[in-house]
Amino acid sequence: MPAVRVRFEDLAAGDEVPPLSRMVTREDVKRYADASGDHNPLHQNDDVARAVGFPRRSWSRRAVAIGRPRNRRFNAIRSPR
């Protein structure tokens, strides 16, 4: 599903942002962690993730912050598990 362009100026309270569907790869996880400055090894290294009880490196929830603006305030949506 392609991303929909939404301009900040056009948002109003109660608007709904259309869903965005995307396959996330391991490379995406690392690229996002590097670009955001999130150096938690949970996002970088499968061995670390397994050592603390995850099946594999975890995907930062931040990257999928889509939601419903309410006074130009978004609630981040939980990433799929």
Q: Quick check: 81 binds another protein (CB under 8 A)? A: no
Nearest to 67 by CA among 12, 15, 32: 15
What is the longest distance spanned by two Cα atoms in the chain? Answer: 46
Q: Tell me whether residue 44 or residue 58 sits nearer to another protein (CB atom).
A: 58
Specify whether the backbone of 14 is left (phi greater than 0), alpha (psi in -120 to 50) or beta: left
Does the protein bind another protein through residue 45 (CB under 8 A)? no
10 binds another protein (CB under 8 A): no
What residue ranges bind another protein (CB under 8 A)? Answer: 3, 5, 8, 22, 28, 31-32, 34-38, 40, 42, 51-53, 58, 60-63, 65, 71-76
